[in-house]
Amino acid sequence: MLTLYDNLDSGNGYKVRLLLSLLGQPYRWVELDLERGETRTPQFLAKNPNGRVPVLELEDGSCLAESDAILWYLAEGTPFVPEDRLARAQVLQWMFFEQYSHEPYVATSRYILRHLPPDHPRRTELPQRLERARAALEVMERHLEWRRWFVADRYTVADIALYANTHVAHEASLDLEPWPKVRAWLERVAGEPRHVPLTTRPG
Amino acid sequence: MLTLYDNLDSGNGYKVRLLLSLLGQPYRWVELDLERGETRTPQFLAKNPNGRVPVLELEDGSCLAESDAILWYLAEGTPFVPEDRLARAQVLQWMFFEQYSHEPYVATSRYILRHLPPDHPRRTELPQRLERARAALEVMERHLEWRRWFVADRYTVADIALYANTHVAHEASLDLEPWPKVRAWLERVAGEPRHVPLTTRPG
């Protein structure tokens, strides 16, 4: 059976939990406490030298890190990754956009606001991170202006990757009111069969 | 013919130029001046709403952004992307590592040092960015301890993605002396047939 090393509050981990639910794939779930350093132990660093969740452990003990690489691994050969060569690369384009231009701003702002005390020095990062978060949401809004899904006119891992942290943007103090296409797309994702919310503890 | 919108000093653009050279694939090269705002014009934003190079334009006018997605598009079906399902996902794992944990530290430090004046406020970002750059190099060193290439015991787009900014780390004030396996791997990449240096102007 697959094992997912994860943290319930992680948007990156939620991507994998959501896809596993959509695929109806059973798995073992191991929650790590980031604040207690459980991703920095020698045992965990042997699974991911970069010391981050999520990590997917396969039945033979091989480990795979990076949420969007895990999505690709699980979804290749299913309807969640298109077969067309350009569409596949476009899915990856939006996943790299997510990791480079979205996650460090939306998800990191959410982390700072939820997990660090009000007088923590990292609070000074918020104005710049939130400005870039708004720029990422603006890029998404323009792309969705005449599209229902990010790529190939259907629900793919690109949508899953972007949904995970966008749907909790309010917890990063971002009001999605200026981006109606993004809001309609969030509802579309949440309305898909076998959808599970971020806070659903697996198993 | 393919068209690459790019900037000669861009490590992300260099990834694509290097792969196109390795594949022996001819292309048209269009250089944009980032400082003159040429990636922020309406014409360019129509090609990539995120306003970044590189962008690959296909013969039918479709555009693809994000350097690592472009690598995947060009390399699927060639020896630079493995066929095995897990190895493919491992290639993506290292490409996402590169974009999330390496490029914002190695490449952005290099950019700040080369392109911003000595009294620019962004210079204050350098200590933290360089610390994280060293952490990324340490992860690479550990992975290369008993491997010649990042994935599947051969030269793949994961190596290309990581090589592009690592081989100019000295221009980000990073001395690679503490990471001998990384240095040996850089030499291995540079010794491959059809290799081209970052500064080679295409065409």
Cα gap A11→A18, rounded to integer Å: 10
The answer to the question of residue B196 being in a domain is no
Distances from the Cα of A178 to the Cα of A5, A148, A160, A174, B200, angstroms: 36, 18, 22, 10, 44
Cβ-count burial of A24 within 10 angstroms (0-12 exposed, 13-18 middle, 19+ buried)?
A: exposed
Contacting residues of A for B101, CB less than 8 Å apart: 50
Closest CA to B6 of B44, B42, B41: B44
The answer to the question of residue B177 being in a domain is yes
Contacting residues of B for A49, CB less than 8 Å apart: 139, 142-143
- Nearest-neighbour CA in chain B from A33: distance (Å): 21
Per-residue pLDDT tens over the stretch A143-182: 999 999 999 999 999 999 999 999 999 999 999 999 999 9
Q: Give yes or no: residues A186 and A98 share one domain.
A: yes
Q: Give yes or no: residues A47 and A106 share one domain.
A: no
Per-residue pLDDT tens over the stretch A9-58: 999 999 999 999 999 999 999 999 998 999 999 999 999 999 999 999 99
Strand pairing class (A2-6; A55-57): antiparallel
- Nearest-neighbour CA in chain A from B65: distance (Å): 6
Per-residue pLDDT tens over the stretch B120-148: 999 999 999 999 999 999 999 999 999 99
Q: What mean pLDDT comes out for the span B179-200? A: 97
Cα gap B70→B13, rounded to integer Å: 10
Supply the CATH number for residue A65's domain. Answer: 3.40.30.10
Domain endpoint, select from A75, A109, A131: A75
B64, B95, B142 ranked by CB distance to A90: nearest = B64
Which positions ≥6 away from A94 have C-beta within 8 Å? A150, A151, A158, A161, A162
Q: Give yes or no: residues B89 and B150 share one domain.
A: yes
Q: Give yes or no: residues A90 and A136 share one domain.
A: yes
Chain centroid to CA B3? 18
Residues A93, B64: C-beta atoms closer than 8 Å: yes
Q: For chain A, what percentages of helix, strand and coil (3-state, to nearest 5) are there?
A: 55, 10, 35
Given a contact cutoff of 8 angstroms between Cβ atoms, the answer to whether A65 and A52 are in contact is: yes
Q: Give yes or no: residues B164 and B125 share one domain.
A: yes
The answer to the question of residue B199 being in a domain is no
Given a contact cutoff of 8 angstroms between Cβ atoms, the answer to whether B189 and B159 are in contact is: yes
Domain endpoint, select from A26, A50, A75: A75
The answer to the question of residue B173 being in a domain is yes
Q: Give yes or no: residues A105 and A141 share one domain.
A: yes
Helices A85-97 & B85-97 angle (0-180, nearest 10)? 40
The answer to the question of residue A203 being in a domain is no
Q: What mean pLDDT comes out for the span A75-99? A: 98
Cα gap B195→B193, rounded to integer Å: 5
Domain endpoint, select from A24, A43, A75: A75
Cα gap B64→B73, rounded to integer Å: 9
Give the residue from B55, B57, B60, B66 with the most A CB atoms within 10 Å of its CB, the best one to mutate.
Answer: B66
Model pTM?
0.98
Helix residue ranges, H only, B61-100: 67-75, 85-97
Residues A99, B96: C-beta atoms closer than 8 Å: yes
Nearest Cα residue in chain B from A45:
B139
Cα gap A122→A197, rounded to integer Å: 28
Q: Give yes or no: residues B57 and B90 share one domain.
A: no
Residues A92, B49: C-beta atoms closer than 8 Å: no
The answer to the question of residue B121 being in a domain is yes
Given a contact cutoff of 8 angstroms between Cβ atoms, the answer to whether B144 and B181 are in contact is: yes
**Domain limits at B17?**
2-75
Q: Give yes or no: residues B89 and B181 share one domain.
A: yes
Q: Give yes or no: residues A111 and A145 share one domain.
A: yes
What average pLDDT does chain B have? 97
Cα gap A151→B65, rounded to integer Å: 13
A72, A90, A139 ranked by CB distance to B89: nearest = A72
Per-residue pLDDT tens over the stretch A88-122: 999 999 999 999 999 999 999 999 999 999 999 99
The answer to the question of residue A196 being in a domain is no
A73, A96, A103 ranked by CB distance to B89: nearest = A73
Q: Give yes or no: residues A130 and A177 share one domain.
A: yes
Nearest Cα residue in chain A from B94:
A66
Give the residue from B48, B73, B86, B93 with the most A CB atoms within 10 Å of its CB, the best one to mutate.
Answer: B93
Phi first, then psi: give them for residue B17, nearest 5 degrees.
-60, -40
Q: Give yes or no: residues A66 and A99 share one domain.
A: no
Report CA torsion sign: A111, A115, A117, A120.
negative
Confidence of residue A203 (pLDDT cuts 50, 70, 90): confident
Residues A69, B50: C-beta atoms closer than 8 Å: no
Supply the CATH number for residue A91's domain. Answer: 1.20.1050.10
Could you tell me how many helices (H) and strands (E) chain A has, helices first? Answer: 8, 4
Q: Give yes or no: residues B95 and B165 share one domain.
A: yes
H or E stretch at B23: helix B11-23
Give the residue from A59, A80, A99, A134 with the most B CB atoms within 10 Å of its CB, the best one to mutate.
Answer: A99
Confidence of residue B189 (pLDDT cuts 50, 70, 90): very high
The answer to the question of residue B11 being in a domain is yes
Give the residue from B10, B45, B71, B100 with the most A CB atoms within 10 Å of its CB, the best one to mutate.
Answer: B100
- Nearest-neighbour CA in chain A from B45: distance (Å): 10
N- to C-terminal Cα separation, chain B: 13
Confidence of residue B203 (pLDDT cuts 50, 70, 90): confident
Cα gap A18→A102, rounded to integer Å: 19
**Structural domains counted in chain A:** 2
- Nearest-neighbour CA in chain B from A54: distance (Å): 12
